Amino acid sequence: SQQGEEDPQALSIQEGENATMNCSYKTSINNLQWYRQNSGRGLVHLILIRSNEREKHSGRLRVTLDTSKKSSSLLITASRAADTASYFCATGFPGSARQLTFGSGTQLTVLP
């Protein structure tokens, strides 16, 4: 299976702390994306990083990509209670007709 693995599966932190989630994948990729899902809702695209990029920022989000280790991390700084959600990484592969393969997800809980 090409599906990525994320760790931790669940993460609980206090408001104001930073949250780091990791994603590992198995084969060569074109790009890696992070999505957020609130309970029972659809997914919201957060950030996309291409395979030739190493780091990307968007607001309080910082994503890194290490293609040699086939891994990525998502850092959310100064977390807020509203950041509570599930976070998924998704990878796009060469020749995959633009399909994405989703990781197992991290459930983040930010306590007020």
Partner 1 sequence: GAVVSQHPSRVICKSGTSVKIECRSLDFQATTMFWYRQFPKQSLMLMATSNEGSKATYEQGVEKDKFLINHASLTLSTLTVTSAHPEDSSFYICSARYASSYNEQFFGPGTRLTVL
Please give the C-alpha separations between residue 12 and each of 23, 28, 31, 48, 106, in angstroms, as whole numbers. Answer: 17, 31, 28, 25, 10
Question: Binding string to partner 1 for residues 52 to 81, with x set by CB under 8 A, is what?
Answer: ------------------------------
Write the burial class of residue 10 (CB in 10 Å: 0-12 exposed, 13-18 middle, 19+ buried): exposed
Nearer to partner 1, 77 or 109 (CB): 109
Q: Which is nearer to partner 1, 19 or 46 (CB)?
A: 46
Asked if 11 interacts with partner 1 (CB under 8 A), we say no
Q: Does residue number 95 form part of the binding site for partner 1 (CB under 8 A)?
A: no
